Amino acid sequence: MKIILTGGGTGGHFYPLIAVAEQIKKISDEKQMLSPELYYFSTDLYNEVILKENNINFVHIPAGKIRRYFSLKNFSDFFRTIGGFFKALWKLFILYPDVIFSKGGYVSVPTVLAGAILGIPVIVHESDSKPGRANALAAKFATKIAVSYPDASKYFKADKVAWTGNPLRTDISQPIKEGSYEMFGLSKDKQTILVLGGSQGAVKINDALLDTLSSIIGEYQIIHQAGSNNFQNVKNQSEVTLEENPNASNYKVFPYLSENMMRQAAGISDLVISRAGSTIFEIAVWNLPSIIIPIPESVSHDQRSNAYNYMRSGACSVIEEMNLRPEIITSEIHRILNHPEVKERMIAGAKGFARIDAAHTIAEELVNIGISHEK
């Protein structure tokens, strides 16, 4: 059996593909069948180490991004996508896989279109509450469509769509508490806030936290992922802000949290402040209350709707960027952490939203379709 994985460009596309690949291997072991051959069709490797660890073969497929605004690059990228389509058509014809799994994004378009022409079954997964253009197109050819948010179902044909949640790697979904306070140099006697701005950090969140820091650092501990590009600036500013503060050691800032550090941070955190990307699904699986700060709709078409969809589950509150004032952030932190009934209600909402078996559900469908296609 051969399975193609496609999509990429960001961790939000790449890592769910890896989560599904892990479960395909697990299912094949449980069924005592030969492990399927896995291929990753994309513009770049993204993470070569993880691909090798999971025995996934990389196949380079060119693709171009079609921007929502006028740009001369739209013309050159259009022809890049056409070239990618013909390359994908040739590669798929040679391999003739049993099924294609697409996570969306412009990277996936050539492979999905080529697969549809060759009659190869396609399963699509949509991470956001509103489908992007790539998945809106792919849905026309898809055998099945999985969605992360229940509200996304209305954009697809009812007989094709299923709410599975977002695929998460097994490790990242399991927080670590033992030894984590010691690792971060924090106390077990104070509540801890984990601040995440995405892998690159978020300047607006960093600035808002720095403005709020002196008013909350006495009562809470903070683990802050500031982003590699922003780290030194945030570190310097925080040192100035907390220079005379006796509680300065309650604040820990990092350029980036590795997977293991993220699991440890999740294990000791009482509240997460985050963007509204794929991290929402990790927060939900961790069963933690959260304050979600979406990227404005003028910049990202999906984050605002993601945030409010998640809020409707009762798992979080939402603060929009234009309202990122110190008094609002401080008030919301106090409202959640100083009122057990609010905190417990958010925990229950996160538990209800989480779908810990998303990767397994999708992998099982891929394997079943692959077996049928082989026959």
Question: pLDDT tens digits, residue range 181-192?
Answer: 999 999 999 999
What does the pLDDT look like over 207-259, one tens digit per residue? 999 999 999 999 999 999 998 888 999 999 999 999 999 999 999 999 999 99
How far lies 145's CA from each of 105, 153, 266, 354, in Å? Answer: 15, 9, 30, 18
pLDDT 10s digits, 31-78: 888 889 999 999 998 999 999 999 999 999 998 776 555 565 666 777
Domains 2-168+356-374 and 180-353 share a fold: yes
Using the 8-state DSSP alphabet, how is residue 287 labeled?
T
Q: Tokens for 58? A: 């990389």
- Return the CATH class of domain 2-168+356-374: alpha beta
Nearest CA among 299, 290, 375, 300 for reference residue 337 = 290
DSSP letters, 76-114, are HHHHHHHHHHHHHHHHHHHH--SEEEE--SGGGHHHHHH
Distance CA 242, CA 252 (A): 12
Domain spans of the chain, in order of start: 2-168+356-374, 180-353
Under DSSP, is residue 207 helix (H, G, I), strand (E, B) or coil? Answer: helix
Q: Phi then psi for 247, rounded to 5 degrees?
A: -100, 15
- What pLDDT is stored for residue 347 in this prediction? 97
Tens digits of residue pLDDT in 232-243: 999 999 999 999
* Rounded mean pLDDT, 252-272: 95
Give the pLDDT confidence score for residue 32 in this predicted structure. Answer: 85
Average pLDDT for residues 268-281, to the nearest whole number? 94
**CA 151, 159, 163, 24 torsion-angle sign:** negative
Q: Is the pLDDT of residue 102 over 80?
A: yes
Q: Which of 73, 72, 69, 112 is nearest to 92 (CA)?
A: 112
The CATH number given to 180-353 is: 3.40.50.2000
Rounded to two decimals, the pTM is: 0.90
Task: Please tell me the predicted confidence (pLDDT) of residue 52.
Answer: 95
Band of residue 374 on the pLDDT scale cut at 50, 70, 90: low
Closest CA to 259 of 180, 171, 364: 171
**Contact predicate 13/109, CB 8 Å:** no
At 297 the pLDDT is: 72
Decide if 149 contacts 128 (C-beta within 8 A): yes
